[in-house]
Chains A and B, each alone.
Chain A
Amino acid sequence: MTAAAGAFRVVEPADVAAATAAHAGEPGSRYLGGGTDLLVNLRRGLGTPALLIDLRGIAELDGLACMAGGARIGAGVTLARIAADPEFRARYPALCEAAAAVAGPAHRNVATVAGNLCLDTRCIYYNQSEWWRGANAYCLKYRGDVCHVAPQGRHCHAAFCGDLAPALLVLGASIEVAGRAGRRRMPLAELYRDDGLAHLTLAADELLVAAELPADPPPSAYAKLRVRGSVDFPLAGVAVALRAEEGRLSILRVALTGTNSRPFLLDGTDNLLGRPLDATVLRHLDRLVQKQVHPMRTTLLQSNYRRVAAAALARHLAARLAATPEAAR
């Protein structure tokens, strides 16, 4: 038996405006997609919202379209649907590989794009039962004063562990957000900040409506470091998009998840453009990754391993992509 979650009400708004209105009426409420993150956390006593706003009946959030001018992915589209979509697989393979790498098949059948992009940050001291956290004087992220990962600091190091974000980052995604104040668009990177306690820049009443991708994406791929080939969250996840012209890199974007409190595009890859993807460039890439990832003891596996192996994954992916005919033009 799982511990009982606190009591809450559920409403099922018919459109986005009704959803944000419902939120305004109950400011502590939470938006619910597939529930594979939120409900698990609520059962562990992480949060006690009085109201859940179930977004699954909103048609606008359910669209998935691959058009000449780009692609639009409704926030409520399931990961299984993305992973299996032939057009997306052909144009945005990193995204489909990332979607297919999330948890297990049963999760992917209900888990949504927005749910994965807005996944709560994770930590071995946080994702535990109420009894466990209580016995440990709670933690900085929830009900406590100390980050057990780095007790000296006043910063929460919980790691962002969504798989989709790095794929969408290297593909140049932007997102559409709706709130009581209206709608706005922004690059996906601006959704995040490097703070395990508050890693999303959304206002409490805001929800994700869609992600949009530009047309003509460079070849891309996603790889996930984990102990098991299923179920596990990423110890590190790496997405790469790459193009080479006449053997020289013209596009190189690398993004990471699982290592920091936000997913992020690797800085400094532009300095490698114009060069062939040889051993020296790969060594540079390795160094860039190792420098910018900050894995902490938020998982049971060693941080140093996650750093070293994340860099290795980035090298593998880049080398693999560069060897494909699609990468050259």
Chain B
Amino acid sequence: MNGTVASRDWPRPGVPLIDGIDKVTGHARFTADLDPCGALVGRIFRSPVSHGDIVRLDVSRARDLEGVVAVVTGDDCPRTYGVLPVAMNEHPLACGKVRYRGEPVAAVAAVDAETAERALALIELEMRELPAHYTADSARAAGAALVHDDRPGNLERAVHHVFGDPEAGFAAADLVREVRIDCAEVNHAQIEPHAALADYDPATGQLTMQSVSQVTFYLHMMLAHCLQMDESRIRVIKPFVGGGFGARVEVLNFEIVTALLARAAQGKVLMQLTREENFLTHRARPQTAIRLRLGMRRDGRMTACECEVVQRGGAYAGYGIVTILYAGALLHGLYAIPAVKYDGYRIYTNLPPCGAMRGHGGVNTRHAFEVLLDRMARELELDPFAVRRMNLLSAPTRTLNELLVNSYGLPECLDRVERASGWRERIGRLPRGRGIGMACSHYVSGAAKPIHRTGEPHAVVNLKLDWDGGVTALTGAPDIGQGSSTMIAITVAETLDLPLERIRVIAADSAITPKDNGAYSSRITFMVGNAAIDAAQRLKDILSEVAARKLGVRREDVYTAAGMFLARGSDATAVSFEEVAKAALVGEGTLTIKGTFTCPPESQGGKHKGGAVGATMGFSYVAQVVEASVDEDTGQVTVHQVWAAIDCGHAINPLAVTGQVEGAVWMGMGQALSEETCYLDGLPAHASLLEYRVPTIIESPPIDVQIVESHDPLGPFGAKEASEGALASFAPALVAAVANAIGIDLDELPATPDRVVEALIARRRRARLKSAQESAP
């Protein structure tokens, strides 16, 4: 374990997020709250058709409208961009061809919103329409029109991985069962809509960009690439961000468009997207069809797993290759399975591009897996907890696909939720219509191999100690509400034995803070936390040296406690942090200390193609129990209570861990109960918070969160991720609870009331058919 913690007493309550008060009092300034003084209003003209060649695009009338300062089109950015270097196939504004309804085609900057709106209406677009494909099946069919000419069969990526001997595994099984599960596409629906403020200074040729990004470094890089500007002329600042969940882990078209407009206008442009445009920008979890087969011995031990996944990826690559790889890689790492075969297909369609979303890639396959495990347990008359316990890993270990598992708190998670939910006393004894179900899940603590292999450390934190005795932590890690800045403050404070108030965190301003790869794959706590501890430890070493001189003792006899440096053996001799800090600056001036972290090579995955995806330093583990009831007349599913236990290695801030687990459970509940996108010929019919049904407070059940600490040897203070792991076990636990309540096995997500009623009608029909057959002579 890296670093040492001052106080390890449990339970520790944790601390509120250091920026929490600013947010709840309204003082926090989000991108749309930034000074719009002198800013033009940016608006995007979007394609009305799903698929077609641009025959004519005439923006002259828009350009001529009084009050319009700039109009940009695909001609202003001939370069493609994208988050993965191998799949940069998107233009910020369509060039020659559009691939989904709502794709940006042109953009205007005008003196006010009304003028911008009028200008959009003056843009003339003539298209030659091409056949459009809205399902993976239709896009894969022979003769389908190609979304991208260089991708035959509209296949973005196929993955074929075999580990162990599946055939032998299935042969050794007493029970082999298969499910086909369909998970609807969902969206992050983060509360803060997308916005960006770009300020181009014509005198210096410098661009300052403020945006809702989770990946300010990528944004910086892509702006330089697309605008063909020198990186050093660009500054990217992240204001307060109102949630990301993956919506902003790749550079988004509107960000580049805003910068293009600012440069064209030689000034400042504020772009605020509508909720509909947020849904069009999308980049969320794809609709996924899963065929999963498991082999099991009579005692519940798994012998083999075979899984085929088809993801409807939308029109551009984005993170798609990573998503389809994660879907297979994360079949591993939760249980011990001797053989796993995975076939994944990521398909291009004429819909808004999918991307990364909390639990990236793993959620839907985990759902299918846990659902099938539950059904097989039932068939074998085994308790679902017992089946999980038959298949536990034993840490430290490496999975078949060479993922590193150094810590594994799942057994304790199982014990905790089994006990807390009263499982043993209640299972099978609830009245009809009410049920309980359970499931497990896990998630990576940071992708160990970065997307861009630069040879740099994976995380850098700078600490500045100045004459005022304050410690300022400078980090490129964007706090997007997940609490990463608070985590950095705590790790620094605990390492230096200082009160939290003495630490100030400045995050994500490229002119001030060191580069960071960003808020994705739950990497920040593990990587940046370790870098922060490293920096604080280095600072502590320097200060201890100074304190030793002041105290007149040897360096190794100096220790810290509660803001003091003390000499071992003589408690009377102590000197305060402030005094030591002042002394340390003599002859040196302001101290700037750097800490770094690099993921060890053994964590960076197997040598097989795609082996880097899923590779991480450690996994969080979650066991979850859901109690629900079902109204068989209206199909309404009501969640009454959730118990979730997470192994996050060590809770650096228990309050934040609890909040993150509640959030993940709740987001899983949205996907399980009511959230789904629905396109009518490629038009998003769901593109408002009225039709896209995020649960309300009325649907929100009490969530009992239990924290299990397995003390990961590589983690900062032993910590692992805590924000994503709990999402994936909600839906299968809910589906198991519904089965337990009314005996219906749902094969589709979300479990909306119409699907439940449909399943009940189908069951009655089957029963009638059966009795008719039996009574037939």
Measuring CB to CB, which residues of chain A are less than 8 angstroms from any residue of chain B? 1-4, 7, 104, 124-125, 127-129, 131-132, 134-136, 148, 225, 227-233, 300-302, 305, 308-309, 312-313, 315-316
Contacts and interface: CB of A to CB of B under 8 A. Distances in A.
A302 B673 CA distance: 16
Interface string B31-51: 010000000000000101100
Contact of B754 (A1, A131, A228, A301): A301
B57 to A, nearest CB: 16
Contacts of A4: 113-114, 117
Contact of A309 (B114, B635, B687): B635
Contacts, number: 97
Contacts of B687: 128-129, 132
14 contacts: A2-B275, A7-B114, A128-B683, A129-B687, A131-B102, A131-B276, A225-B753, A228-B674, A228-B699, A301-B753, A305-B753, A308-B761, A309-B753, A315-B633
B273 interface: yes
B633 A312 contact: yes
Contacts of B193: 1
Contacts of A136: 680-681, 683
Interface stretch (B284-292, B351-359, B689-697, B735-743): B689-697
Interface in B101-125: 101-102, 113-114, 117
Given A135-B49, A228-B693, A1 B273 contact: yes
B254 to A, nearest CB: 12
B22 interface: no
Nearest to B690: A231
Given A228-B696, A231-B696, A313 B683 contact: no
Given A300-B691, A305-B758, A227 B683 contact: no
Given A1-B193, A132-B687, A300-B691, A308 B757 contact: yes
6 interchain residue pairs of minimum CB distance: A229-B698, A312-B633, A1-B272, A305-B754, A135-B48, A230-B696
Contact of B274 (A3, A104, A233): A3
B595 to A, nearest CB: 40
B685 interface: yes
Nearest to A135: B48
B634 interface: yes
Given A4-B117, A129-B276, A227 B753 contact: yes
B757 A309 contact: yes
The DSSP consensus for interface residues of chain A is loop
Nearest to B684: A132
A148 B685 CA distance: 13
A300 B46 contact: no
Interface in B133-149: none
A232 B696 CA distance: 10
A16 B548 CA distance: 86
B678 interface: yes
A305 B756 CA distance: 10
B674 A131 contact: no
Interface in B677-713: 678, 680-681, 683-687, 689-691, 693, 695-699
Given A1-B274, A131-B46, A227 B752 contact: yes
A7 B48 CA distance: 25
A132 B683 contact: yes
A230 B752 CA distance: 15
A233 B690 CA distance: 9
A7 B114 CA distance: 9
Contacts of A132: 276, 683-684, 687
B633 A316 contact: yes
Contacts of B46: 131
A125 B276 CA distance: 14
Contact of A229 (B113, B691, B696): B696
B119 to A, nearest CB: 12
Contacts of A308: 757, 761
Contact of A302 (B686, B689, B693, B758): B758
A296 B696 CA distance: 26
Contacts of A233: 690
Nearest to A312: B633
A104 B694 CA distance: 14
Given A302-B758, A305-B758, A230 B683 contact: no
B411 to A, nearest CB: 37
B634 A124 contact: no
Contact of B690 (A7, A232, A312): A232
B270 to A, nearest CB: 9
Nearest to A305: B754
Contacts of B697: 230
Contact of B685 (A104, A128, A225, A231): A128
A232 B274 contact: no
B690 A1 contact: no
A305 B696 contact: no
A313 B761 CA distance: 17
A18 B101 CA distance: 47
A128 B698 CA distance: 26
Contacts of B757: 305, 308-309
Nearest to A225: B634
Given A132-B276, A225-B634, A305-B754, 16 more contacts: A1-B272, A3-B117, A4-B117, A104-B696, A128-B687, A129-B687, A227-B673, A228-B693, A229-B696, A232-B690, A233-B690, A300-B691, A301-B753, A302-B758, A308-B757, A309-B633
Contacts of A228: 674, 693, 695-696, 698-699
B179 to A, nearest CB: 23
A235 B686 CA distance: 15
A134 B48 contact: yes
A124 to B, nearest CB: 5
Contacts of B273: 1
Residue of A104, A125, A134, A301 ringed by the most chain B CB atoms within 10 A: A301
Nearest to B676: A300
A305 B635 contact: yes
Nearest to A308: B757
Contacts of B699: 228-229
A128 B635 CA distance: 28
A70 B62 CA distance: 60
A72 to B, nearest CB: 32
Nearest to B697: A230
B197 to A, nearest CB: 13
Contacts of B691: 124, 300
A132 B274 CA distance: 13
B580 to A, nearest CB: 51
B555 to A, nearest CB: 59
Nearest to B634: A309
A101 to B, nearest CB: 11
Contacts of A1: 32, 113, 193, 195, 272-274
B320 to A, nearest CB: 25
Residue of B46, B276, B678 ringed by the most chain A CB atoms within 10 A: B276
B117 A232 contact: no
